[in-house]
Amino acid sequence: MNALRGMMWLLVFQSAGELLGRGLALPLPGPVIGMVLLLLALHWPVVQEPVAACAEFLLSHLSLLFVPVGVGVMTHLSLVSEYGIRMLAVVVLSTAAGLAVTVLTLHLLRDRHPGLAAATTPAKDGDV
């Protein structure tokens, strides 16, 4: 029952995000606004506990969420055979770009706050 309450909270925040996004003509998609609202609301146990139960349920059945993707690929196999190499290149390049931006961001943050790097580095043998 708690998982159902969690699903309700997820749908409430997605709907609220859609209403805010469309009602105020914001440049962000409604689900993104809803996720930000959910992030803020997760500080309250009345939201946090049911959403955690719903997340555990969804994660335990995560493999089922890949079935529609597999069916879609099989349905459009001719498109995959025609554009597959290009799609693979886009996925690889976008993953590499995301990884590079993440690494550069972490290096910039580490250089601005050198004490953080020392605090998060594991101690070596002989270090006190």
Identify the pLDDT of residue 91: 94
**What was the pLDDT predicted at 49?**
95
The pLDDT of residue 54: 95
Query: What was the pLDDT predicted at 126?
Result: 61
CA end-to-end span of the chain, whole Å? 50
Q: Which amino acid is at 84?
A: G
Residues 13/39, Cβ–Cβ less than 8 Å: no
Spell out the per-residue pLDDT of the chain, length 128, in tens: 889 999 999 999 999 999 999 999 999 999 999 999 999 999 999 999 999 999 999 999 998 888 998 898 899 999 989 999 999 999 999 999 999 999 999 999 888 877 665 666 666 666 65
Q: Which pLDDT score, from 0 to 100, does residue 43 have?
A: 94
For 47, other C-beta atoms within 10 Å of its C-beta total 19
Q: What is the pLDDT of residue 69?
A: 87
Distances 85 to 19, 21, 70, 82, 88 between C-alpha atoms, Å: 39, 36, 18, 8, 5
